[in-house]
Structures are given as structure tokens and as C-alpha cells.
Structure 1
Amino acid sequence: MDGIEPAGQRVRPKRADARRNEQTLLDAAAAVFVTSGVEAPIRDIAAEAGVGTATIYRHFPTRADLIVAVYRHQVESLAAAGPALLKTSATPYAALERWIDQFVDFVVTKQGLAAVLQSDDPCYDPLHSYFLERLVPVCTELLETAAGAGEIRAGQDASELMRGVGGLCAGAGNNPRYDARRLVGLLIAGLRR
């Protein structure tokens, strides 16, 4: 089905191989952003993805386009993971644990994006609202399902939990002995009945 851009122009949907290539680029960019920050050379992202730099620029003409796309891609991956984990995990609590583990990965990547996301560039303004709109309902569903199964205490607030996980992840600073994942594991274990 064709989409329509705001200006009323029809756009063709991307071919399956073009979508896969874009996903590969986004995953590579996220990995490079975690290790080298968002100012990493485009050639490093291209090398990680196994493509030329022209391919990246063809998909993402500016660095801001790439950063926004990485952020949205990761949010969408997390949003899709919640329901999938509920279907495939042994218990709702196991699904919650696995989703929070993926959320930790996202938060670590997001910290690499933090300086850019807090810049004056208006293209980044809607991203925080987008994050909340997409992920709070997913976390809420995971919490409510685990509580309904009697695995965790009822009445947990998804926003508070996500903020707590984010705070634990941010606490590492430059301390190599700080293990945010272990601390987040303790936080999630504390939800159990």
C-alpha cells in the first residue's frame, strides 16, 4: 500500500531488502554509538554494517537523521519485544526480566545519545514523548501480567520502574566496577512476592 507524505506526494513502500539493509545500518550505528559516541566517524558505522559510507548517506542524509532513526528503531524493537516475550517466555516474570534486560541495553545506547538529544536541534524534541507513548504501555502490560499471575506484587508503576532502571544505568559514570545490570537485576528481583 502506498503512503502519502504531508505534502500530498505518494511514496512507494521500501522493498524488503532495502528495509533489511536499513535495519542493519541502524543496528550497526547503535553499536558504534555505545562504544564511540554519536560523533563517531560514519566510516566506523559503515565498517560495522559491512557497507560503504555512500550507503549510509543514501539512507540517512544527515547525522541527525541517523540518530533519530536509531532511537526510533530501538524504541520500536523494545515495543515489539514485550508482547513477543509474553508469548515465548516460561512465565510472565521471565518475560519482564528479559524485557528489562533489553531496556538496559537501550538505556546504555540512549546515554550515548544524551548530549545530542538534549541539544537545541528541534528534530530531537518529540523523541522523549515518543519513547513514553510507546514503551510505558508495554512495561505496564508486562507488570500487570506478572502481577496477575501472582509472581510480583500488584500496583507497580511502569514509569517509576523505567525511571529507576534509567537511574541505575546512569550511575555508572566512568567507574568500571559499577555493574548496572546486576543492580537492575536486584531491583527487578525486589518486585517478586
Structure 2
Amino acid sequence: MEVFLTSTVTVTLAEIGDKTQLLSLLLAARFRNKGALILGILAATLLNHGLSAWFGQWLSNSFSSEYLPWLVNISFIVVGLWLLVPDKDEDVSSKYDSYGAFLVAFVLFFIAEIGDKTQIATVLLGAQYQSVFWVTVGTTLGMLIANVPVIYAGNALLKRISLNTVRAIAACVFVSLGIYGLVTI
């Protein structure tokens, strides 16, 4: 249960203000079929984060167990500091709109997640917890918790929430997890 909850909270916080959350806002403005957008995000995240959690687990099995806790915890601190750097709003081409909301959301979300903070966090969680299933389920739920409200009420939410404050809180969580892990080694 700890793996699931930590994965969910970690990715929910990391996703706020992230480029994929901005992508959700752009897609919601472009397509009426919100359910198809959510299913596209769900499918893309399951695939991307499943592979990422597996890769994290594989990496942890490939490294000496003596150094792995240091590597994972220092990486959490680095990701926490990276969260303080706002993502740039990327322009999304409308040339793919004819493929429908699900396919456009699936492809764009999958591509946008490659090398993203939440993908890196998923790799780290997979390495730390050695549970591809629960890390994938938790991080996917975290993505949905952060993105579904944006799809339905994005503009209103963005007017009320200071992204800088949320980024700072998320950064503190990541850095705290890393420091706690280093202290308890």
C-alpha cells in the first residue's frame, strides 16, 4: 500500500504545472469529447509508466545494492530541484485533429511524457520499490488526479492556483524524500 500511495502522491505533485498538464488544457480546449481525452491519457500513461517502472526495476537489479539507495535518493533530490524550473508551453499542431480525441491524446501524451519529470519519477519509484504493478497503477492514478480536473475545469483552476507555490511544495516533497532516504541508509 505504501508503494501505491507514495507513487500516486509523488506523481500528482510532480505533474502540477508540468508540460503534460498544459497539454491536457490545450487538448480540452480543442476537443469536446472529454471522455476520449481521458481514455487517451490513461492508455498513454499506463504504457509509458509501465515501461518506466519496469526500467527502474531493471536498473535497480543491474546496480550493486550497495550504491542503489544513494543513487535513487540523490536522484529524488535532483528531480525535486528540477521541479522548480517551469516547463515551457509547447505549441500543439492541429494537423492531427482529424484522428480523433483519443488517438491524438494517446500519441501526444505518450511522446510528451518521454524524458518528463513524471517519467523520471516513475523510473526512480520502480527502482526504489521493485513493484512494476503498484508503481504503474499509483503513478497513472497520480496523472489522472492532476489532469482530469484540468480537462473539465482547466481555465478556472489555473486562475485560482499559483503554479509557483505548487511547484515549490512538490519540490519540497521530492527533496525531503531524498534527504530522508539518505539519512536512513
Higher radius of gyration, 1 or 2: 1
TM-score, normalised relative to structure 2: 0.33
TM-score, normalised relative to structure 1: 0.32
By relative contact order (CA 8 Å, sep 6+), the higher-ranking structure is 2
* Structure in which a larger fraction of residues adopt helix: 2
